[in-house]
Amino acid sequence: MLEILEQKNLGNYQEILKKIKIIIAKNSEIPGLEYAEIHISEAIENKNIKGWILYAYQPEQVIIYEVSDGGDWNQCDGLVRSVLFKAQLRGINQAWFLEENPAMIQRLAKLGFMKNNQKKLNNIMDVMENCKKCKENPANT
């Protein structure tokens, strides 16, 4: 069974964290990025890491820096939705996607997280409600 768990030990992600500093510098229009605490959640199946997502919470928004899903669309959807859900629990309803991988950007767009090449998701609730509609669709059962 696949689990998505926050990883407290960031030691295995040092190279990626260096890359995130460059992404932060490129996106100076988003205030407070340089002070945000980075979080990592991993998709784990049979004790093996299948994917991960790097993100940070700010008072008004969650920043999603990078997603690695091993090419699995369902895993991508689950990783992103888990972060968006946790953001909602914190009272956050906006998200920024700072992903730089063109293939991942395309996947995020097709999954409905990014619209019209916009980095900003203004209403997390809209995305989560669409998930609910999908589940209610008899064709998906």
Q: Where are the beta strands (DSSP E) in the chain?
A: 2-7, 38-45, 48-57, 62-68, 95-97, 120-121
Q: Are 92 and 127 in contact (CB under 8 A)?
A: no
Strand partners, 39: 55
Computed over every residue of the chain, the mean pLDDT equals 87
| pTM score, whole prediction | 0.86
As assigned by CATH, the class of the 2-140 domain is alpha beta
Query: Sheet containing 95-97: which strands, arranged edge to edge?
Result: 2-7, 38-45, 48-57, 62-68, 95-97, 120-121
Q: Which two tokens stand for residue 139?
A: 């064709």
In tens, the pLDDT along 100-134 reads: 999 999 999 999 998 877 889 999 998 888 755 45
In tens, the pLDDT along 14-40 reads: 888 888 888 888 888 887 777 788 999
**pLDDT: which is higher, 135 or 75:** 75
* Portion of the chain with pLDDT greater than 90, in percent: 58
Residue position matching structure tokens 């992600």: 13
Q: Are 63 and 36 in contact (CB under 8 A)?
A: yes
Structural domain boundaries in the chain? 2-140
Residues 91-98 have a mean pLDDT of 95
* Closest to 52 in 3D by CA, of 34, 33, 39, 35: 39
